[in-house]
Structure 1
Amino acid sequence: MANSDPDKLMIKADKLTKLSFTRWSADWRTATSLYEQAAIGYRFRKDNEKAKEAFEKASKGQEMISSPWDAAKHMESAAALAKELGRWNEVSDHYRRASELYIECGRSQPASDGLAKAARALEDVAPDEAVRLYTDACVVLEEDGKEQMAFDLYRAATSIHVKLERYTDAATFLLKWGVAADKCNAINSQCKVLLAYLSAIIVYLYAHDFQQAQKCYNDCSQIEVFLNSDQNRCASKLLSAYEEGDAEEIKHVAKSSTISNLDHVPLPTYMCNTLRRRAA
């Protein structure tokens, strides 16, 4: 049937959005329905390029008829197709736009999720942009008082920095994670606070930056939940052993159950193992 041909649907929809001597106002509602039908048709044909374009136009159409939620959904579909096509800039741009539209609806969770989807897609091809996306996704949740839902995003961003051997940046994200967790006041969140702060100190030691590790320890010790914790005592012993050059004590502390629990944060096993071997 002619009406089911996505190419013809697109042509008809485009005509409805253009003004002329005979059409003084655009019919976005009808056009949007046609763009949506065309997008489905193209996707059925596995023509991702044209399907992406159709979803982009359908998203614009939903905006024009004041339906930001549906506009966001279509923009996410366009972003997913951009990923399949390897259009990495469009992946970021489209998911960011979808996030903005979700925020217009007052929906922080899907807004953050969209940014996180883009970040995961870009981790290997554009790690710096992935970190920015993860950061923005955290901000969206925190501005809505949902810090606890940002923990996995901090973990993912920290992991990227560790893989790229950007240890100062990794430690910075661990500290941000700790601050976010501290705001939640839940028991399981307090555990994340302790692990994040101890991990930041270990990252600095791994990077041979004893001075920054000591400063980090002093700063974290100003926080009550860390001050009286096993993680604080572990960090103190580790710093003292490094300062005194006590190889046996370094290995002893590094084998402790407190450090073993760091498997729950993005601190590679090799980093903790290195603490055990470095003084040998």
Structure 2
Amino acid sequence: MSSSAASMGEKITEADKLMKKANKYWQPSLMDFRLKPDWEAAAPLFEKAALLYKQVGQLEKARAAYERAAQSQERIGSVWHAAKHLETCGAISKDLGQFEQMAEFYRQAGNYFAQAGRISAAADALARGAKALEDKAPAEASALYGEALEQYESDGKEAQATDVFRQAIALLVKRQYESDGKEVHATDVFRQAIALLVKRQVGCQAAAARCWQGSVGVILAATAAAAAAAAAAAATVM
């Protein structure tokens, strides 16, 4: 057995031990004079186990450990750390190709950031999740972009949302073409785009004006690119 394989085996064994110990802290124990779960003791053990699992490529186990670490942190009132762990769960879900779960983890992370009073951080997390999902799950990405924009608006930070707004508009335009190259009714896409523009207009005149100028260019460029791609695909078939 090579030294690297032995090292990986040792890390997995250590992570398994940490998980077992942490899970015990989740349960009351008369033998240990513990009348209720000790979330504070469990959290760092789950975090260490998660890191070890991630280092050796045990992604399913790493995600489960991070999720338990998040639950433990939430129980002791540290929702900020819980949010960070859930965002990590989202990133791991992407590596696993589980995009619906990825979106849900980013939503949970955003919710915890908001509970911590960090609305902009919540919006940023949702936007990061949306960006990461654009190619693999565009419908989920669009939904997350919308939720991110709502968070920015609720925090009075519409001006900070300009880039996210443009990304959301660009994605809506790109979605007028399905993955198989068939054209989708563009009116539905532009209706959603205009709805976003109008919503931002109501929220903040100055920010909306800047977004409008940038988004018109994005809409035209994305539409032209999508049309060119479709034409090229059709020419290849012919």
TM-score scaled by structure 1? 0.66
Query: Does the 8 Å contact 1:123/1:130 carry over to 2?
Result: yes
Give the % identical residues: 37
Q: Alpha carbon RMSD of aligned pairs, Å?
A: 2.7
Structure 1 runs (4+) deviating above 4 angstroms are none
Q: Which deviations, in whole Å up to 9, do the C-alpha atoms of 1:16-50 show, x marking residues without a partner?
A: 10134534211111111110111111122222221
Task: Within 5 Å, give how 1:186-205 maps onto structure 2.
Answer: 186=206, 190-194=209-213, 196=215, 199=216
Query: Does the 8 Å contact 1:178/1:192 carry over to 2?
Result: no
Query: 1:147 is matched with which residue?
Result: 158
Which structure is higher in RCO with an 8 Å CA cutoff and minimum separation 6? 2
Query: 1:266 is matched with which residue?
Result: 219
Query: 2:18 is matched with which residue?
Result: 9
Query: 1:81 is matched with which residue?
Result: 92
- Select 1:180's aligned residue among 160, 183, 200: 200
Query: Does the 8 Å contact 2:197/2:208 carry over to 1?
Result: no
Q: Distance in 2 between matches of 1:80 and 1:270?
A: 30
Task: Within 5 Å, give how 1:27-46 maps onto structure 2.
Answer: 27-46=38-57
Query: 1:61 is matched with which residue?
Result: 72
Q: Distance in 2 between matches of 1:174 and 1:160?
A: 10
The 3-state SS of whatever aligns with 1:266 is helix
Query: Does the 8 Å contact 2:172/2:189 carry over to 1?
Result: yes
Structure 2 gaps, min length 5:
1-9, 177-184, 228-238
Number of equivalenced pairs: 206
Letter of the 1:107 partner, please give it.
R
Task: Within 5 Å, give how 1:1-280 maps onto structure 2.
Answer: 5-22=14-31, 23-165=34-176, 166-175=185-194, 176-177=196-197, 179-180=199-200, 183-186=203-206, 190-194=209-213, 196=215, 199=216, 262=217, 265-268=218-221, 271=224
State the shift of 1:269 in Å. 6.3
- Describe the shift of the 1:270–1:54 C-alpha distance in structure 2 as closer, same or farther (beyond 3 A): closer
Query: Does the 8 Å contact 2:53/2:61 carry over to 1?
Result: yes
Query: Does the 8 Å contact 2:134/2:141 carry over to 1?
Result: yes
